[in-house]
Amino acid sequence: MELFGKVHPELTENAVFVAEINIDKLQAINTGKPKYKEISKFPIVKKDIALVVDKNVEALELAKTIKKACGGNLKDIEVFDVYEGKGIEDGKKSLAYSLTFSSQDKTLTDDEINPLLDKIVEATGKEFKAELRK
């Protein structure tokens, strides 16, 4: 018998939860061979990029295009700003992303990262008519 629940408030002042787990059933679950990826010994490189797109463009779709354009050295992408207003054309918005690059083999240089940023501008321009925010 497995159960999970909250202890009635009349029995305790604090929120207390109780769980009973059948360890035999849990151990019987075959999750396969564990996988891991070694953490890079080399430092990460962070770059920010802001793109102006139509209001109806979703940040997630734009992020997918950015990932595809960068390849394997792009380790993380995060939206940190969505802006509409002064300086941005009506019907458009600015999406700003923080990009994290890393390599397992070496420290990446600006000479290696900048062409990736150019690829982002080119790919998002083709797919979404995005422009680099100035």
Distance between CA atoms of 98 and 81, rounded to whole angstroms? Answer: 9
For residue range 98-116, what is the model confidence (pLDDT) as tens digits?
A: 999 999 899 999 999 999 9
Q: Give the strands of the sheet with 45-54, arranged side by side.
A: 74-83, 92-101, 45-54, 131-132
User: Does position 42 have pLDDT exceeding 70, yes or no?
Assistant: yes
Region of residue 85 (left: phi > 0; alpha: psi -120 to 50; beta: else)? left
Q: What does the pLDDT read at residue 85?
A: 93
Distance between CA atoms of 81 and 133, rounded to whole angstroms? Answer: 12
Distance between CA atoms of 107 and 45, rounded to whole angstroms? Answer: 8
Q: What does the pLDDT read at residue 13?
A: 84
Q: What does the pLDDT read at residue 122?
A: 97
- Please tell me what DSSP assigns to residue 56: T
